[in-house]
Chains A and B, each alone.
Chain A
Amino acid sequence: MKPTTRLSRISARTLLATGLAASLALATGCAKSEDDGDKSSVSKDQGDSGQVVSEPSEGSGPTCAIDAYGGKKLDLESATVGFSQSEKEANPFRIAETASIKAEAKKRGVKLLTANAQSQFSKQISDVQDLIAKGADLLVIAPLNSDGWEPVLRSAAAKHIPIVTIDRKINTKACKDYVSFIGSDFVEQGKRAADQMIEATGGKGDVAILLGAAGNNVTTERTKGFQDRVKEKAPDLKIVFKQTGEFAREKGQQVTEQLIQSKPGIDGIYAENDEMGLGAVNALKGAGKKAGDVKIVTVDGTRNAVQGIVDGWISGVIESNPRFGPLAFQTLDTFTKGTKVSQDIVIKDSAYTKDNAKADLGKAY
């Protein structure tokens, strides 16, 4: 090693950092995107479509009370809540989820601390530890993984900090390591998507599935629900094609292009998220198909997809509601006042069809 190596390593880093900072300043400083004029598009309409619990929570399923968990009663208004988000707010779901938590905290006048793990599980663990160290009395966690939570949750439980996990469940003991899980039933989403598909195609014909990312529980469950319901209710609807679009629009478009070349007679496409569905719409347009030639059903409920229903390209969108704020805070409020809450709170997702799409476009995120 030459003696200059250390120097050059430092200068390499400095060079990189300076260069990036400078380019960032340049790039953003005078940017002007297409629609800077109308800043209407996203996230103005919080609150009016907060989640609703799918079934009466009292009595059904196990519950959790504050004595069993071992915490102490407190007043939510004066408490500090920590929120740990799993992924960068780079897709509509995460954006709406974080915005909803923030809006609800503001509405209730609760002090909120937030952290984002940027898709790194180790960072999420340290984020949660940080939030506790910074004085969070209560925690809302959107977990990146289902496993690996025991150590950090034990240390939170030792301090009797009530925890609510949202959108993904974690594999530890409810009412011991955490209080409640609030989330959608992905299998149910798949089933309802199948219902929409059966209705759109009349229960007959060939359909394709654009799978989500491999090895993801959302993919597995949305697939299972769809297949089970089709088998049960419409045996004449055949699933002839299953390929991954990795939850991305570009991949959804590419796979659909191959699909309509090799199976020109396809009747329906079930896309496991809106982005792949929109990619499929692109592919159909490119191949000269007309709106409605191929029935598309998607899951999520983003504004673009609901607009797709209005335009006639998409038959139905099953919502996966990201607005956990009201329900999460309500659960924490009930719990800290001493009333028992359900351990598993499954939310009721709504759906968009041509009947309500236009009217409810404002509700989409």
Chain B
Amino acid sequence: MTDLALGGKAPADRDRILRYLQDYGVYLGVAVLLILNIFLTPHFLSAENFRTQAVQVAPVLIVALGMALAIGSEGVDLSVGSVMALSTSLLSLYLGYGTWIALIVALIGGAAIGVANGSLIAFIGVQPIVATLALMVAGRGLALVLLPQLKDVRDPTMASLGSGDVLGIPYLVLIAAALALVVAFVVRRTTFGRQLLAIGDSRPAARLAGLPVRRVLILVYVCSGVLAAVAGVLATARLTASDPTSLGNLMELSAITAVVVGGTPLSGGRIRIGGTVAGAVLIQLLTATLIKHDLPPSWTQIAQAVVIILAVYAARERGKR
């Protein structure tokens, strides 16, 4: 009588390697890119450069944190890019009342889209991919109805949010880092986090164990919506303009990539926040490397695709275990 179901020796070894790759491959990737760039890219090793990369990755990372929650619940949130657009429209539209009121309205907009996503999924039983696709289309449309074209933001508070810093660390980077810590804490230490993982791993079992499945699911998408709205606000501050036409375009793909590359399985039940941070950084470094060396833009897409395929391959092989 064995308690452990073990395969043969060779598959077990391969399994270990794949597991290791899925868990830590992303850190390895970041390290390799850093080393390559230090040797090959001129002026790479400078505070200014690291600052640039960190500032550019901040909004992607914030969106990816929310995406990690959605994916951990065996869902996905395709509406994040549109939520960014909606938040920038709302922000611009309400700046007349003052910065803080406009910020709050923008975040409420994100939360509202989250409630809509969550309700469709939890109460009506729509597939997450379909529900959030609907809100992706509707959200972008709403953003463009509210603000049909790019509009400059001249608010000084917003401008300093976008370009200011504390001891040389930009506000954007501080906010993203703080949010990553908060989300990691939520996943590890709260009832909500535990229940979310159980629901993501086995929804029928979670239901029969009496978990508040609907409440948790709605909260997941509200978190994702609010985080996307935060990212939209920060991107607006950096651009000093509201551009609902192009802000957040394809953001859902960048965020999903960061999450998956970071070792969070698409099948739910597991969330790796450290990996998600590293995943976002990896993609940022990859893009930056290709741009700095002036390689054709299509290469960036191909390189990203290769990274995604590798990540999904490692995850899939493990899933077969």
Mark A residues whose CB is within 8 Å of B.
8, 11-12, 15-16, 19-20, 23-24, 27-28, 31-36, 88-92, 95, 211, 214, 240-244, 246-251, 253-255, 257-259, 261-264, 275, 278-279, 282, 286-287, 304
A90 to B249 alpha-carbon distance, docked (Å):
15
Are A36 and B96 interface neighbours, CB within 8 A?
Answer: yes
User: Are A255 and B119 closer than 8 Å at their CB atoms?
Assistant: no
What residues on A are CB-neighbors of B93 within 8 Å?
27-28, 31-33
Question: Which has the most chain B C-beta neighbours within 10 Å: A240, A250, A254?
Answer: A250
Contact B239 A249 (CB under 8 A): yes
Judge whether B239 and A258 touch: CB under 8 Å: no
Q: Is the CB of A12 within 8 A of B124?
A: yes
**A-B CB contact pairs (8 Å), 23 listed:** A8-B124, A15-B120, A16-B116, A16-B120, A16-B138, A27-B93, A27-B146, A31-B96, A32-B93, A32-B94, A91-B149, A211-B297, A214-B297, A247-B246, A248-B245, A249-B150, A249-B246, A255-B291, A258-B288, A259-B292, A261-B292, A262-B293, A275-B150
What residues of chain B lie closer than 8 Å to A251, measured between beta carbons?
246
Chain A residues in 8 Å Cβ range of B56: 254, 257
Report B-chain residues with C-beta under 8 Å of the C-beta of A282.
238-240
The reply to whether A34 and B154 contact each other, CB–CB distance below 8 Å, is yes
Chain A CB within 8 A of B183 CB: no
Known: A91-B245, A263-B42. 6 other contacts (CB 8 A): A15-B119, A15-B120, A31-B146, A34-B154, A241-B294, A250-B243
Name the residue on A nearest B89 (C-beta): A27
Interface centre among B90, B93, B119, B240 (most CB of A within 10 A): B93
Whether, in the assembled complex, B181 has its beta carbon less than 8 Å from a beta carbon of chain A, the answer is no
Which B residues from 176 to 229 make CB contacts under 8 A with A?
none
Known: A33-B96, A34-B155, A264-B43. A92 touches B149 (CB 8 A): yes
B16-24, B46-54, B65-73, B253-261 - the one binding chain A: B46-54
> Do A261 and B46 have beta carbons less than 8 Å apart?
yes
Q: Is the interface on chain B under 10, 10 to 19, 20 to 34, or 35 or more residues?
A: 35 or more
Given contacts A88-B144, A250-B247, contact A214 B154 (CB under 8 A): no
A33 touches B109 (CB 8 A): no
Nearest 5 interchain pairs by C-beta = A32-B96, A248-B246, A262-B292, A31-B93, A34-B95
Considering the chains assembled together, what is the distance between the CA atoms of A11 and B135 in angstroms? 15
A25 to B: closest C-beta gap in Å: 11
The chain A residue with its CB closest to the CB of B91 is A33
Q: Is B174 an interface residue (CB 8 A)?
A: no
Q: Check B151 for interface membership: any CB of A closer than 8 A.
A: yes
Q: Which residue of A lies closest to B93 (CB)?
A: A31
Least CB distance from A299 to B in Å reads: 17
User: Which chain B residues numbered 134 to 156 have a C-beta less than 8 Å away from chain A?
Assistant: 134-135, 138, 142, 144-146, 148-155
Is A287 a contact of B48 with CB atoms below 8 Å? yes
| Inter-subunit contact A259/B243 (CB<8 Å) | no
Residue of B nearest to A278 (CB): B241
Residues on A with C-beta less than 8 A from B48 are 261, 287
The A/B interface has a contact count, at CB < 8 Å, of 136
Which residues of chain B are within 8 angstroms of A88 by Cβ–Cβ distance? 144, 148
**Secondary structure call for the A interface:** helix
Q: How far is the CA of A258 from the CA of B294 in the complex (A)?
A: 10
CB contact under 8 A between A90 and B291, given known A36-B96, A250-B235, A258-B52:
no
Q: Whole-angstrom distance between the alpha carbons of A262 and B155 in the complex? A: 31
Cα–Cα distance between A33 and B244 once the two chains are bound (Å): 15
Measured CA separation A244–B298 after assembly (Å): 10
Q: How far does the alpha carbon of A279 sit from the alpha carbon of B56 in the complex, in Å?
A: 13
B125 at the interface (CB under 8 A from A): yes
B-side contacts of A11, CB under 8 Å: 124
Q: Does B28 contact A (CB under 8 A)?
A: no
Is A248's CB under 8 angstroms from B243's CB?
Answer: yes
CA distance A19 to B150 in the complex (A): 25
How far, in angstroms, from A243 to B105 measured CA to CA in the complex? 36
Q: B39 near A: Cβ within 8 Å?
A: no
Instruction: Please tell me if the beta carbons of A12 and B120 are within 8 angstroms of each other in the complex.
Output: yes
B155 and A253 form a contact (CB under 8 A): no
Q: Which residue on chain A has the smallest CB distance to residue B95?
A: A34
CA distance A15 to B96 in the complex (A): 31
Q: Is B160 an interface residue (CB 8 A)?
A: no
Contact A34 B288 (CB under 8 A): no
B59 and chain A: residue at smallest CB distance: A250
Task: Decide: A258 and B124 in contact? CB cutoff 8 A.
Answer: no
A304–B149 alpha-carbon span in the complex (Å): 13
Q: Are A261 and B145 in contact (CB under 8 A)?
A: no
Enumerate chain B residues within 8 angstroms of A240, measured Cβ to Cβ. 294
Which residues of A are found within 8 Å of B142, using beta-carbon distances? 20, 23-24, 27
Please tell me if the beta carbons of B297 and A244 are within 8 angstroms of each other in the complex: yes
Alpha-carbon separation in the docked complex, A165 to B167 (Å): 57
Among B49, B109, B150, the one with the most A-chain Cβ atoms within 10 Å of its Cβ is: B150
Residues of chain A with a CB closer than 8 A to B154's CB: 34-35
Q: Identify which of B90, B155, B238 contacts A27 (C-beta below 8 A).
A: B90
Q: How far is the CA of A29 from the CA of B93 in the complex (A)?
A: 11
Instruction: Look across to chain A and name the residue whose beta carbon is closest to the beta carbon of B125.
Output: A8
Beta-carbon contact of A16 and B134 below 8 Å: yes
Chain B residues positioned under 8 Å from A262 (CB to CB) = 41-44, 292-293
Check B152–A33 contact: CB distance below 8 A. Answer: no
- Given A34-B95, A34-B96, the answer on whether A90 and B149 have CB atoms closer than 8 Å is yes
Residues on the B chain within 8 Å of A246, using CB: 246
